[in-house]
Amino acid sequence: MADHKAPEPCTVDPFKYLQLIRNPDGTITRNFTPPTVSATPDPTNSHDSVLSRDVPLNPKHNTWLRIFRPRQAPDHSSDAKLPVVVYYHGGGFVLFSAASSLLDEFCRQMAYQLPAVVVSVEYRLSPEHRLPAAYDDAMSSLHWIKTSKDEWLREFADYSNCFIMGASAGANIAYHAGLSAAADGLDPLKIKGLVLHQPFFGGSERTGSEVRLANDPILPLSVADLMWELALPVGADRDHEYCNPMLGGWSGNLDRVKKMGLRVLVTGSGGDPLIDRQKEFAKMLERKGVRVVAQFDDGGCHSLEFMDPVRAKELFLLIKKFILCMT
C-alpha cells in the first residue's frame, strides 16, 4: 500500500518573510524597499525602444500613472493607433509601486512586444488604505484616461481598443475595475477585454493546491493569509466579495460584462498555490456566460514571468493574440 503523507503545515513567518513590522496604529513598516527607476520621457536622452512619462492622478492620494509607448509609435496622422493596456501591479495589495524596477521593465517590454500604449497605475496600498481604496484608484485611472488631454494618449492610443490588465493582486484589482466599468460606462474609452494574470483570490476554505503548496518558496500560505488580513476591510472574513469571487455579490455586473461582449483571459501556473482558485474562477465566469480564454500551464510558479524573460515573452505573445482576436 502506498504511503500517503499528510501535507506539511505552513511554517513560514509571514512578517519575517516580507520584512514587515506591524505598528500600533494599524500601519506597517516596510523594511524591504524594492529598487525603483525613473521614467524616461525624453527621446534625445535615451536609447530605449520604449519611452515613459509620469503624470499625476490624484495628488491628494499621492497616486499617479506611468505611461509607456514604443519609441517608434505609429504615425498619429494615420489610423494605425495602438491598443491601450491599463495595468495594475501585484504585491498582495501591500507592496511595490509602478516605479519598481521589476514592474517598470515588465511594462516597458510589454509596450514594445505587443505593441501598445501601457498605462501603469500607482494605487494606494494596504493596510494604510484598505480595500476598496485600490479599486477606487483603478476606476479613477480609467476615468482620467477617458477625459485626458495627454498628448501621448491622444496621438498614439486607440480609445476604442482598451484592455484592463493586472498580475496577482493587480489582477484582482483589474477584475473589480472591469466589473465597475461594465456598470459605469466609459465612452469614448471602450473596454474590449480583461487580462487576469495569476489572479489573487482567496476564501475561508482551503483549496487542494493551497494545502499542497503551503510552504511554497514564492507565495507561502501564511504570506497570502497576512496579505488578505492587511487588505480586507476590518472585520471582513476571507469570503468577502473582494476576496472570494465565487461567493461575491457582483453577479449583476457580470451580466453586464456578458452583454458588453468582453472577453476575459485568465492565466495560471501549476506550481502556484493559487492555481485551483484560478481554475474555479475561470469556470465560474464560463457558467455566467462570459467569454473566457483560460491558459493554465502545468509547471511554473507564481510571478515567474517577472523573473524569466523567456516566460515573459510567451505571456506577451499570448496577450497579443488575445488583443488581435478582439480587434
Question: pLDDT tens digits for 95-128?
Answer: 999 999 999 999 999 999 999 999 999 999 999 9
CB 124 within 8 Å of CB 89: no
Hey, what long-range contacts does 138-141 have (CB within 8 A, 24 or more apart)?
138/88, 138/173, 138/174, 138/176, 138/177, 138/180, 139/177, 139/180, 139/181, 139/184, 140/57, 140/58, 140/63, 141/57, 141/63, 141/65, 141/86
**Cα gap 199→142, rounded to integer Å:** 20
* Range 249-273 average pLDDT: 86
In contact, 267 and 197? CB cutoff 8 Å: yes
Q: Which of 104, 158, 272, 276 is catalytic?
A: 272
Catalytic, out of 52, 97, 120, 168: 168
pLDDT tens digits, 197-210: 999 999 999 999 99
pLDDT at 1: 40
Chain segment 174-224, per-residue pLDDT in tens: 999 999 998 887 989 999 999 999 999 999 999 999 999 999 999 999 999
| pLDDT value, residue 3 | 44
Residue 135 has pLDDT above 90, yes or no: yes
Q: Considering the candidates 129, 176, 240, 302, report the single residue annotated as catalytic.
A: 302
Helix axis angle, 251-260 to 169-184, nearest 10°: 70
Minimal CA–CA distance to 299: which of 277, 263, 324, 268?
Answer: 268
Query: How much is the pLDDT for 70?
Result: 95
Q: What mean pLDDT do residues 293-297 have? A: 96
Distances in whole angstroms, Cα of residue 121 to Cα of each of 99, 145, 156, 281: 10, 11, 19, 24
> Is residue 168 annotated as a catalytic residue, yes or no?
yes
pTM: 0.95
Our answer to whether residue 158 is catalytic in this structure is no
